[in-house]
């Protein structure tokens, strides 16, 4: 057991915790970061595929208005490049395959009207909800007493429109509309700007990618922080007293005046708190379960779909992979298709053998991009629920009744303990940009 002391101890070496630690260090204060895993980056993770190239098996995209993560990348000398969009998108609904350009698929006019109407109605409803305080919205209790599924059921969408809406929700949230509070969903979309911004590639949250893979942001900050980052040090216990905190991790105890806790929300409940957290904060930690998402990458000698006039973007309402993107390295070699299996589809996948999942994934890619997709050179699967220090992904979510009753506890410091993590952000909640903003906000709190 080693003993260390610092002005600030940060629990969790993901993008939020590292951003916070970097800001604290820049202000001239001592900081120690305790990370449970043997790597930094949290829910961002590069996987090497040879020749010094990587694919990202966690959070990866950035886009317009995500100013803080883009500023961080610039400061770290990390560049971005556009997601591949040249060519047509593919859409499979009700077993029928269509190609289309831009963001508007060739759907029947009613289904198209549905999607347009959905965006307008949700954005209008969300206009009442301020991401800083969704619990203060007019009708907050009513909006929070229903699931998003209930609201969608009542809205009277066409079958095709509704299926595509469910796909969009699962792909963004890792959860089905039944699992989400309407109030929470409105706040989440407002934090991104609107639903279009969440779902779009060009002009939206999937517009750009990070050269070297998104984990490079965390890797570079960790390089800057050097010995201040301790890996393999899961935090088991946090003691608070008038002087500050004592944080006990495997192998090391850190005494500090302040702590910033930047772990996935349900993991807050795994720590022994002495004295106990306030009941509202503890109750919130029990009511923000991690969503479920597999990220599936198929590697090919080349991005063959580009020759077919396709850009790799696909939507398939049959699943289990419901959305795909071209995820090849900047130079287009090798070719990489990425697909997501989320929510109830992920629950079913948890009961399958790996070989069965691989077979289903390649079948999904082949349905959208032709039989050549079956001949992947490699198949890389990441199940965030299987990561003990994430327990799910991409984010923690809220069902009905949580935000209106317990939301105020989300960012409220508990004595010397401050909270970071993308779920605590009020702009781009759930995205890398939100993680960075939450880290900057928590650092400002402890420095203030």
Please report, as residue ranges, which positions from 287 to 316 form the binding site for a copy of itself (by CB under 8 A).
287, 289-290, 292
Please report, as residue ranges, which positions from 375 to 394 form the binding site for a copy of itself (by CB under 8 A).
383, 385-386, 388, 391-392
> Contact 230/249 with Cβ under 8 angstroms?
yes
**Best CA proximity match to 389, nearest among 233, 219, 170, 256:** 233
Residue-level length of the chain: 448
CB of 121 to a copy of itself, least distance (A): 18
Among 5, 85, 280, 333, binds a copy of itself (CB under 8 A): 280
Closer to a copy of itself at the Cβ: 15 or 152? 152
Closer to a copy of itself at the Cβ: 87 or 430? 430
Closer to a copy of itself at the Cβ: 289 or 413? 289
CB of 286 to a copy of itself, least distance (A): 4
Closer to a copy of itself at the Cβ: 114 or 387? 387
Among 283, 378, 444, 447, binds a copy of itself (CB under 8 A): 283
Taking contact as CB under 8 A, which single stretch among the options 82-90, 93-101, 371-379, 402-410 is the one that binds a copy of itself? 402-410
Cα separation, 257 vs 245, whole angstroms: 6
Compute CA distances 46 → 38, 317, 360, 380, whole Å: 14, 28, 24, 11
Please report, as residue ranges, which positions from 349 to 378 form the binding site for a copy of itself (by CB under 8 A).
350-351
By rule CB under 8 A, what string of x and - marks binding of each residue 10-49 to a copy of itself?
----------------------------------------
CA neighbours closer than 13 Å in the CB half-sphere of residue 217: 34
Cα separation, 5 vs 293, whole angstroms: 38
Please report, as residue ranges, which positions from 236 to 275 form the binding site for a copy of itself (by CB under 8 A).
266, 269-270
Closer to a copy of itself at the Cβ: 8 or 182? 182
Residue 306: exposure state from Cβ atoms within 10 A (0-12, 13-18, ≥19):
middle
Q: Whole-angstrom distance between the N-terminal and C-terminal Cα of the chain?
A: 32
CB of 160 to a copy of itself, least distance (A): 19
Please report, as residue ranges, which positions from 145 to 204 form the binding site for a copy of itself (by CB under 8 A).
145-147, 149-150, 153, 175-179
Cα separation, 343 vs 384, whole angstroms: 12
Q: Which DSSP string do the residues of 346-412 spell out, in sequence order?
A: HHHHTTS-HHHHHHHHHHHHHHHH-GGGG--SEEEEEEGGG-TTT-S-S-B---TTHHHHHGGGSS-
Look at strands 96-100 and 88-93 and give their pairing: antiparallel
Coarse DSSP helix, strand, coil percentages of the chain, rounded to the nearest 5 percent? 40, 25, 35
Is 58 among the residues that bind a copy of itself (CB under 8 A)? no
**Best CA proximity match to 376, nearest among 364, 388, 384:** 364
Among 400, 421, 430, 439, binds a copy of itself (CB under 8 A): 400
CB of 399 to a copy of itself, least distance (A): 4
Please report, as residue ranges, which positions from 115 to 144 form the binding site for a copy of itself (by CB under 8 A).
141, 144
Residue identified by tokens 């989400």 is: 180
- H or E element: which one contains 102? none
Name the residues that contact a copy of itself, by CB under 8 A.
Answer: 141, 144-147, 149-150, 153, 175-179, 266, 269-270, 276, 278-280, 282-283, 286-287, 289-290, 292, 344, 347, 350-351, 383, 385-386, 388, 391-392, 399-402, 404-406
């Amino acid at each position: 057991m080693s003993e260390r002391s610092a002005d600030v101890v940060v629990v969790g070496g993901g993008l939020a915790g590292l951003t916070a630690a970097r800001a604290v260090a820049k202000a001239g204060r001592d900081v120690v970061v305790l990370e449970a895993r043997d790597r930094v980056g949290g829910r961002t993770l590069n996987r090497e595929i040879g020749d010094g190239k990587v694919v990202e098996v966690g959070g990866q995209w950035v886009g317009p208005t995500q100013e803080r993560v883009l500023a961080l990348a610039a400061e770290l000398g990390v560049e971005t490049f556009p997601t591949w969009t040249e060519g047509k998108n593919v859409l499979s609904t009700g077993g029928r395959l269509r190609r289309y350009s831009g963001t508007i698929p060739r759907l029947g006019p009613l289904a198209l009207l549905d999607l347009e109407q959905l965006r307008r109605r949700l954005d209008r409803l969300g206009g009442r909800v301020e991401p800083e305080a969704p619990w203060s919205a007019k009708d907050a209790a009513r909006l929070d007493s229903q699931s998003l599924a209930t609201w969608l059921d009542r809205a009277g969408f066409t079958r095709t429109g509704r299926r595509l809406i469910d796909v969009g929700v699962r792909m963004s949230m890792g959860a089905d509309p039944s699992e989400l509070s309407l109030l929470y969903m409105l706040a989440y979309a407002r934090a991104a700007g609107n639903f279009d911004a969440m779902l779009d590639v060009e002009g939206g949250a999937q517009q750009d990618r990070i050269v070297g893979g998104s984990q490079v942001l965390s890797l570079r900050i960790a390089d800057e922080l050097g010995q201040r980052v301790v890996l393999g040090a899961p935090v088991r216990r946090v003691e608070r007293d008038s002087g500050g905190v004592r944080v006990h991790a495997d192998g090391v105890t850190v005494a500090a005046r302040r702590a910033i806790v930047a772990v996935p929300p349900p993991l807050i409940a795994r720590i022994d708190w002495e004295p106990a957290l306030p009941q509202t904060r503890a109750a919130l930690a029990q009511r923000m379960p991690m969503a479920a998402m597999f990220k599936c990458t198929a590697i090919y000698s080349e991005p063959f779909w580009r020759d077919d006039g396709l850009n790799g973007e696909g939507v398939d309402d049959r699943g289990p992979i419901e959305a795909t993107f071209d995820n090849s390295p900047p130079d287009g070699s090798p070719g990489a298709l990425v697909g997501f299996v989320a929510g109830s589809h992920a629950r079913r996948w948890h009961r399958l053998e790996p070989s069965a999942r691989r077979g289903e994934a390649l079948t999904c890619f082949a349905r959208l991009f032709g039989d050549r997709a079956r001949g992947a050179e490699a198949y890389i699967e990441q199940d965030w629920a299987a990561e003990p220090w994430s327990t799910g992904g991409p984010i923690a979510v809220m069902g009905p009744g949580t935000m209106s009753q317990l939301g105020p506890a989300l960012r409220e410091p508990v004595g010397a303990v401050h909270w970071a993590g993308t779920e605590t952000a009020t702009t781009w909640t759930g995205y890398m940009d939100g993680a960075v903003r939450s880290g900057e906000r928590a650092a400002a709190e402890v420095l203030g």
